[in-house]
Structure 1
Amino acid sequence: MTALERIAEWVTSNPPVTAARRAAATDAFVDTLACMVAGASDVSTLGAIAVASHADPRESAMCVDGAMRAPSSAALINGTAAHALDLDDNFIGAATHASAVLVPALLAAARQAGADGAALLDSYLVGLQVQREIGREIAAKHYTAGWHATSTIGQIGGAAAVAHLLGLDATRIVAAMSVAVSTASGLKWQFGTPVKPVHAGFAARSSVEAALFAQAGVAGRSDVLEGERGFAALYGAPHADWPTAPIDTSVAHAIEQPGLFPKLYPCCGSTHLAIDAVLDLLREHSFAAADVAEIVVTVLRPNAANLPYTHPENPTQARFSMQYALISALESGTVSMADFEPATVRERRTHPLLDRISVRTWSEKAERIMLDQGRTPHRVELTLTNGRKLDRQREVARGAVSEPFAPWEKRRKFTSLSGLSDAHYDAALRLAASPNIDAIERLLAAAIRLRNGAGE
């Protein structure tokens, strides 16, 4: 049995779905919808709309601009919008922005599949677990090598999710994932440019198209993950050890462990532990940005590589700058959308702390031990102008399973990003009981009216 066949066997085995798992999947859906709405006017999204603007007789999915388009075009646009502001969730289990791929892909296929809310959520859970099964074996090396796993591993899980939603059998689910492997791409070198959000759009589109290819009878090799010149070998993990035992999610599903990491700050997740550490120190010691002489942040090598912009020139680069993120935290007491307004970024180009915040990495030996233990700690060493030294190490960022957002924080994120009322948030939370996706389309339509100045 190949790695993909093992996964497909699990997908078609009616894996257990609990109320708690559906609730967690609902939170992910709702969080991603807010990110989609907020990212609708971003330059990356507008580019995706321009590329996918042609009419199609198979129009069946709503986009964030209100138009109905073919599923693959809708997935491209909505996936790009979901990732545009870097506020969508992270999934450490595969080093992906899991929901920015899965939610747009599933919404794009929902009408074609005749899916209700529960089916959407169950297929989301399938896609997340598939990302985890592949990510467990290759994500660390693959991501460190420079691949953006959102648009490599992410779309393989996305293809399985859409194939499950369409009711494909195990053979065609294998085929869908195999097709998705052949479109896996996306380099981390694009971080800090408008291309990076499009990676999520590409992945969502590929998820839909791979499942439709499989539905039409197109199949690739079932050993494409582990083959001699297969995915793992060519994408940075040639020594991956693919398990053969059946997948068992009866005790824990990927959404429970390691779980998703929804984001509080609109910038690269590689800055979040350090932001939280600095905010912890601010609350405990009551100092100001002007009191800081130096900050040294120690991170893992892949995280350091994600943050190349020490002196960012624009908001997109600023989202991938540790220096800018920590200056924002010190100046604002948090990191918010306001910190990434063009005028604010221009104003901070000459901030004195840009040259006093440095990023270094753990030793290779220490990092290997940490990763083997499932740990990804970041450390902040902060020196004040009076010579006092403060030190804080963070193992997880706020929003992680072990430090989750409060219900009011989830609600506030949705309403502040979307501009929509609590009624839309509450309707979206009832997705598991919905007979269709009408409430989601009403939400998107209301957001468009609001953006156009017409009110909800």
Structure 2
Amino acid sequence: MSETHTSNALNAYACWVAQTARDWPQDALHIAKRSLIDTLACMVPGAADSAPSKLWPVVKTWGSGPSTAVARSESLSAPGAALFNGTCAHALDFDDNFDPAKAHSSAVLIPALLALAEAEDAPIGDVFDGYIVGLQIMGRVGQGVNPFHRSRGWHATGTMGAIGAAAGCARLLRLDAEKAAHAISLSTSLAGGFMSQFGSDTKPIHAGLAASGGVQAALMARGGITAGTGTLEGPTGLRTLMVGPDVEELAASMEGKAEHGQTMRFDADEVGEPLHILEHGLKIKRFPNCGSLHRALDGLIALMQSHDFSADMVENVHIAAPAAHLRNLMHENPQTPAQAKFSLEYSLAAALYSGDVGLDDYEPEAIHRPQVRALMPLITKDYVEKLESDFPTQVHLTLKDGRNFESHHAMPVGSKAHPMSDEQLWQKLETCLASARGFTPDSLLEELANLDPDKPCRQLMASTQM
């Protein structure tokens, strides 16, 4: 894979996007394929959720086009389809996480690339190629601003996602290095999203806006629109504005540390090494809720399975976890399904009640179950001011008979450390598609079982429509 060395990170990233060879390792292509399957598993049933249902009558009035709207019978422009499908992909909060960027990467990249590939009549192989490239740039930029970008309240799915999508779409359009730089730079003006939106309809729309922004930025760059060269670095660049005026002090504090490769500095020398899709991988979700819950849920469920106790035997469940995780879980008394996905108290109580947590636990009628509500006061928590890599989530459980159990989980099920098998991923796909109201999954399952890189993307997307 070729590398171009330059002191300007934007130019280095753009050169790599434009010039790196398409000879990806088979393991990288396999992960990209898994990410496509997992994203479509989330996207199709997600179309019936609150935010997409409300968004659809808005976006469909903006005009039709060549790109499919999932679980609908109409098509939209490429930016419109990316907006709608990206929102669908993130609506259930069942889509994967990507640690270097601290973002839901695939819910942005896959909808953006699929929409643009349809518009360009490109094959599925171009989506895989654009995905690997977009993920790398999303990760590289994310490593330059995290962990403090996220810990200060930015939703990186909206910020880093837009930049990664622009890079992936520039790759799919085969833009040269100059235009790829303009696309990435343009995307910083379309990047945004605050954690204050968590628990609202706007949170999943962040993924849609980022996907659409990436498509728009790449198309505008192809059309000759120019953008600044100082949008990542410098006193008015993304790194300063989206971290803070103390960015250099924070970067110095990260010397000798690497939180998922995050150094608070942009690496302009070895853009493609290591390849993020292999080095870090994706966290495929076991549970349809905020990823900050997963280590605690893994721990609690493992204790229940190992020691064979029921909810009525429990005195207390105390969670000690990184403060950055617990701050994401701000809804202690959730009143909507979206809020419940960001509630430690509700989600652990639901797990105590049934022994697991699934899509049914976040239906409107489920979140007010008196049996689950009665268990919520048993859940207590301790905010630990340490990086997530420095402090595994601890579950301390006390039974009414005085017995005590505990578990420590550093990485969740679905991560590179504890991966889902292909068979488990396929089971997730089938379960998700079966939950999609009014959708017949046979055609989509057949397409995903036979993902030929040379097959037109349009053929795959036709199987996602109602």
Q: Is the 8 A contact 1:127 1:161 kept in 2?
A: yes
2:68 matched to 1:62?
yes
SS at match of 2:315: strand
Residue 9 of structure 2 corresponds to which residue in structure 1? 3
2:450 to 419, 430, 440: 430
1:300-352 per-position Cα deviation (integer Å, ceiling 9, x unaligned): 12211110111111211111101111111111111001111222211148723
2:170 matched to 1:167?
no
Q: Is the 8 A contact 1:194 1:316 kept in 2?
A: yes
Residue 272 of structure 2 corresponds to which residue in structure 1? 248
Residue 101 of structure 2 corresponds to which residue in structure 1? 94
2:94 matched to 1:76?
no
1:232-271 per-position Cα deviation (integer Å, ceiling 9, x unaligned): 111115224333313233xx42112211001111111110
| Amino acid in the other structure paired with 1:205 | S
> CA–CA distance in 1 between the matches of 2:96 and 2:216?
23
Q: Is the 8 A contact 2:97 2:283 kept in 1?
A: yes
Residue 110 of structure 2 corresponds to which residue in structure 1? 103
Q: Tell me by how many angstroms 1:212 deviates.
A: 1.1
> CA–CA distance in 2 between the matches of 1:320 and 1:407?
28
1:323 to 333, 338, 345: 345
Residues 353 and 19 of structure 1: is their aligned pair in 2 closer, same or farther, counting only changes over 3 Å?
same
Residue 338 of structure 1 corresponds to which residue in structure 2? 360
1:140 to 147, 155, 161: 147
2:402 matched to 1:394?
no
Task: Give runs of aligned pairs for residues 290-305 of structure 1, distance below 5 A.
Answer: 290-305=312-327
Q: Is the 8 A contact 1:256 1:401 kept in 2?
A: no
Task: Give runs of aligned pairs for residues 45-444 of structure 1, distance below 5 A.
Answer: 45-54=52-61, 56=63, 59-64=65-70, 65-236=72-243, 238-239=247-248, 240-249=264-273, 252-348=274-370, 351-362=373-384, 364=385, 367-368=386-387, 371=389, 375=390, 377-419=392-434, 421=441, 424-444=444-464
Mean Cα displacement is larger for which, 224-233 or 435-444?
A: 435-444
| Amino acid in the other structure paired with 1:262 | I
> CA–CA distance in 1 between the matches of 2:425 and 2:370?
30
| Amino acid in the other structure paired with 2:360 | A
> What stretches of structure 2 of length at least 5 have no aligned partner?
1-6, 249-263, 435-439
In percent, how many aligned pairs have the same letter? 33
SS at match of 1:243: coil
SS at match of 1:259: coil
Q: Tell me by how many angstroms 1:126 deviates.
A: 0.5
> CA–CA distance in 2 between the matches of 1:408 and 1:400?
15
Q: Tell me by how many angstroms 1:422 deviates.
A: 6.3
> CA–CA distance in 1 between the matches of 2:119 and 2:19?
23
1:401-426 per-position Cα deviation (integer Å, ceiling 9, x unaligned): 12111222111111111125566335
TM-score (norm 1): 0.92
> CA–CA distance in 1 between the matches of 2:95 and 2:452?
21
Residues 103 and 387 of structure 1: is their aligned pair in 2 closer, same or farther, counting only changes over 3 Å?
same
2:37 matched to 1:30?
yes
1:185-208 per-position Cα deviation (integer Å, ceiling 9, x unaligned): 111011111111111111111011
Q: Is the 8 A contact 1:66 1:444 kept in 2?
A: no
> CA–CA distance in 1 between the matches of 2:239 and 2:391?
23
Mean Cα displacement is larger for which, 6-15 or 347-356?
A: 347-356
| Amino acid in the other structure paired with 1:411 | W
Residues 244 and 82 of structure 1: is their aligned pair in 2 closer, same or farther, counting only changes over 3 Å?
closer
SS at match of 2:60: coil
> CA–CA distance in 1 between the matches of 2:460 and 2:451?
8
Q: Tell me by how many angstroms 1:155 deviates.
A: 0.7
SS at match of 1:431: coil
> CA–CA distance in 1 between the matches of 2:47 and 2:169?
23
> CA–CA distance in 2 between the matches of 1:193 and 1:106?
26
Q: Is the 8 A contact 1:292 1:384 kept in 2?
A: yes
> What stretches of structure 1 of length at least 5 have no aligned partner?
449-456
Q: Is the 8 A contact 2:145 2:239 kept in 1?
A: yes
Residues 155 and 79 of structure 1: is their aligned pair in 2 closer, same or farther, counting only changes over 3 Å?
same
> CA–CA distance in 1 between the matches of 2:333 and 2:392?
25
> CA–CA distance in 1 between the matches of 2:194 and 2:310?
38
Q: CA RMSD in A?
A: 1.7
| Amino acid in the other structure paired with 2:179 | R
